[in-house]
Amino acid sequence: MTNAIAENCTKRATTKLGSSFLMPDFLFEGIFSDEKNQSYFYNWNRVVVGYCDGGSFSGDVDQPDPATKLFYRGARIYRAVMNELMAKGMKDAENVILAGGSAGGIGAMIHCDHFRSLFHPAVNVKCYIDSSLFLKLKDPKRAMFFKTIFGTVVELQQSAKALPAECTSERRPSACFFPKTLVKYIKTPIYLLNSAFDSYQIRNMFSEGLHDQIMNHTVTPSDMELLKDFRQQIIKALPTPSPTNGYLVTSQFGHSFGLKGLKKPMFPQNKTSKTMEKVMVEWFFGEKSIHIIDPNDEPFWNATLSH
């Protein structure tokens, strides 16, 4: 499987997924928008680090892969970017969020404590993780999807060096790559936003057909039971509630919500509920302890709301 992943990396390196040279211009919209009605953070300094290393910014290999000639140095990319940002004035910030979505969210988790260490203890530094609660499902066949990918990435990119030493001293490095495990070793305050019916995981661990059934509102009773069980596994993967850690699990079917903005209601079937952004901001400034799970146990899909 390592060879297959390496070949995939070679293909990615010739696309926007694996080369910053090929990335299109980033549209500062959604949570990144400079419009007050689009984002609470409209007047913050916002920096987007394009994800192109294929290993959640965890790779730290001295020599290029002999077969593909690729360098796996995501962790070094992260450190170089942070050094530049600190030199450009980030060191003087009073409130700072390290955020990531999907695979980038795992990178934000991996580096969360290091990021915190860059600042004076009085600075408010926290980490926001969007749609990164990737599961090793109870079903062995479905569990192989992420088990294989994470295991191979950790081996190929020598990611163990970037993972918490406290974790790798007790478990296999590939186990420490799973967010359910990784989050237990993060000491910096962290907030997770995740769909109980994450569309990326439904598509890749169940089927494209089930993904489309949700969008078409044609899920069969038996498949709905599968989805409800998946929701329970998402909930069980959440970190233990604490005054500093927070989470919001929504029934909205989707993935990487921040890119399209967090002005949506946290409970999509209740348009008067607080927005995803509102509860995240309350958590960040310590106004409230946020541990919220949408009581709706079926996926909600509305094209207008979800995009």
Token pair listed for 247: 């989470």
Question: Position of tokens 């993967």?
Answer: 237
| Cβ proximity of 151 and 134 under 8 Å | no
Nearest to 281 by CA among 28, 40, 42: 40
255 is an active site residue:
yes
Q: Which long-range contacts (CB under 8 A, 24 or more apart) does 204-207 make?
A: 204/145, 205/135, 205/137, 205/142, 205/145, 205/146, 206/142, 206/230
| Integer Cα distance of 33 and 43 in angstroms | 9
Of 188, 40, 169, 48, residue with least CA distance to 113: 188
Q: State yes or no: is 198 an active-site residue.
A: yes
Catalytic residue of the set 198, 199, 251, 256: 198
Catalytic one among 33, 102, 132, 251?
Answer: 102
| Marked catalytic residue, from 60, 255, 256, 306 | 255
Q: Which residue has the tokens 């500062």?
A: 28
d(CA 101, CA 51): 10
Question: Which residues have a catalytic role annotated?
Answer: 102, 198, 255
